[in-house]
Amino acid sequence: QEDYKLWLQYKKVQDTKIASNYQSKINGIYALGNSETIQAATKEMQSGLSGLLDRTIALQQNTNSENLLILGIQSSLDEAILKNLKNELDLINNEGYLIKSIQLKNKKHILITAKTDIGVLYGVFNFLKLLQTNQSIENLAITDAPKINIRMLNHWDNLDGTVERGYAGFSLWNWQKLPDFIDQRYIDYARTNASIGINGTVINNVNANALILTPQYLEKVETLAKVFRPYGIKVYLTARFSAPIEIGGLKTADPFDADVKNWWKEKAKEIYQRIPDFGGFLVKANSEGQPGPQNYGRNHVDGANMLADAVAPFGGMVMWRAFVYSEHDADDRAKQAYSEFVPYDGKFRDNVIVQVKNGAIDFQPREPFHPMFGAMPKTPLMMEFQITQEYLGFSTHLVYLPKLYQEVLESDTYSKGKGSTVAKIIDGTLDHHKITGIAGVANIGNDINWTGHPFAQANWYGFGRLAWNPYQDSETIAEDWLRMTFSNEENFIKPVKEMMLESREAVVNYMTPLGLHHIMDTGHHYGPGPWVSNLSRPEWNPTYYHKADTKGIGFDRSKTGSNATAQYAPEVAKIFDNVVTCPEKDLLWFHHLSWDYKLKNGEKLWNSLAFKYQEGVNQVASMNATWNKMEHYVDETRFKEVQMLLNIQHKEAKWWRDACLLYFQQFSGKELPKGVEKPTQTLDYFKSLQFPFAPGN
């Protein structure tokens, strides 16, 4: 069951000194208010403490005794407590919280308060985190508040129970048993999300099915919304643009058609009658075959604004995705979203936010930040990260993604001069946007451990933490997660944290080093397929991305090539354009270079590529070695699971290395340098591998 509990293990504090200190400081809970959220907060506090302190902490009816945990919103506190707070509450927003050591009539207590109930719940989870990570609870004075408004998961769940790009079983939502049967998982899902501050969920796939908008399904969605509500989580749905035809009996879905507009208005009204706090719609339109306004000669603004008008009277949002690329303009797929959307800057309604993937292609192990960030100052842009590992080894490979997220968030767009980081764009501070958002494509399914790989839980956790505060360090997050999920022992934390932090670079090295991208095998995207060149659309083929030939390798996106670099601010474009200043990690993303091109360390490109692939394999080998020493600190089930998975990862890192190097070697015509292991199979063997059992698209 450890697996199931994620980072909310609430195991007894092992260090006896720390434990007895906590024991002496926590004697009871005094909870003010009776809303469902306050009840959930109180219950969480009680169950958390009973595990961590190994005894029951009673609820009190007054503050007569000492060492109480006082929970309640600001307006429920009496004067005697409020006067302890001075202006601290002014520093936080509606979802923020305060954890403070206070004195009341010469008695010491710990106060957890906020402006709203949900703030109190967030405060409770963060207080429990202090204990879970063995922090001091003396003289507490913590104020904390989220920096981004909409912090959401996007589930790519289909109504038939399958999950697109999902590698942790089937969908959590049991449409057949809803609305009458409420799976305990729905509640634990909401609790867990609340523990990291997630406040929104899109429960169905962006490749949408209009049926979700029929009364039969809405009744079920209403129940889920009710379960999630006490935990501060709003439900959103994807809207299939052609729904007025498919379920509304209309002949068109043209956003300028009066009947169509009216259909969406009525639909919105119907949804809000059931779910008064419904979040709004997420829309994938005119992308990868999905219907959209362009089917009727209209554009993205026309489509988004029509839907925005329908939900506006109820305070709803439209999240319009910018993941578009068309086969008709295939010179460089990386340029298309920018070309299509940037001219619309400032034209969307106030309740529209444009959702942009972190990079311009598609959730690769590494991509430079998407050039749309910084290019649309008059439009709020929402970040879309992928938590599920579509291109990074599914739920088989251990890859700690917050490293990737942090790299993107810290990237400097220079849109308003130096320091215009992606984080400042999405948290609204750079361009003064009131509505801000961040989404993560969920990696959750109905596996016992939720995410398939025990360490993939860290990616869900880390996404939530960065959504709350995009300036946090992924290292701190890894450490917190390890302490909460496994153990507080330093001899465990240190090596395993290092292993996590290195895992992202490892996957880049053994899959797509030096800026290579999209060379995964067709459809499922698992395993190498750099040779694939037979797909109907040019930009679906790996050969389109690496462009290897006898002269060299890489996609020339500089001035001499597709000129995608011109989509960045001049300062950034200049760096990427020049092969000397272009970061080597992005080299082949932006440049096509000869096999003999010399890297900064003096090594030729072919050799460097080979060394990178080898380094990736070595890194996984050392991850294995690290984990094998951890048996003592981890329960048997999780220890063995991770061990088996790392063994597969090691095998598959070699597969990636050998397949890619044999393939590229045909063009370079060069020997493998010393230090790079020789493949034991032929290129034909790797090409012949089939994966009928891998979840596809």
Which residues would be at the binding site for ligand BDP (CB under 6 A)? Answer: 164-165, 206-207, 284, 288, 323, 362-363, 390, 697
In this structure, the number of other CB atoms found within 10 A of the CB of residue 88 comes to: 14
Q: How many helices (H) and strands (E) does the chain have?
A: 21, 15
Catalytic residues: 288, 362, 390
| Between 332 and 362, CB nearer to ligand BDP | 362
CB nearer to ligand BDP: give 28 or 200: 200
Q: Which residues contact 251 (CB under 8 A, 6 or more apart)?
A: 245
287 vs 565, which CB is nearer to ligand BDP?
Answer: 287
Retrieve residue 44's tokens.
């969480």
Q: Measured from the CB of residue 437, what is the shortest distance to ligand BDP in angstroms?
A: 16
Token pair belonging to 618? 């070595």
In a 3-state reduction of DSSP, which class is residue 482? helix
Single-letter residue type at 525: H
CB of 576 to ligand BDP, least distance (A): 23
289: CB partners within 8 A, 6+ apart? none
Tokens 């996404």 map to which residue?
A: 463
Alpha carbons 652 and 507: distance in angstroms, whole number: 10
71 three-state secondary structure:
strand
CA-based radius of gyration for the chain: 26
Q: How far is CA 603 from CA 3, 596, 661, in A?
A: 45, 9, 17
Burial class (CB in 10 A: 0-12, 13-18, 19+), 180: exposed
Nearer to ligand BDP, 284 or 497 (CB): 284
CB of 398 to ligand BDP, least distance (A): 21
> What is the CB neighbour count within 10 angstroms for residue 249?
9
Nearer to ligand BDP, 367 or 577 (CB): 367
Rounded to whole angstroms, how far apart are CA atoms 622 and 575?
A: 34
What is the rounded distance in angstroms from the CA atom of residue 307 to the CA atom of residue 318? 7
d(CA 149, CA 435): 7
Nearer to ligand BDP, 363 or 461 (CB): 363
Write down the least CB distance from residue 4 to ligand BDP, Å. Answer: 28
- Tell me whether residue 284 or residue 504 sits nearer to ligand BDP (CB atom): 284
Residue 645 and residue 447: Cα distance in Å, rounded? Answer: 15
Minimum distance between the CB of residue 595 and ligand BDP, rounded to whole angstroms? 31
End-to-end Cα, the chain, rounded Å: 31
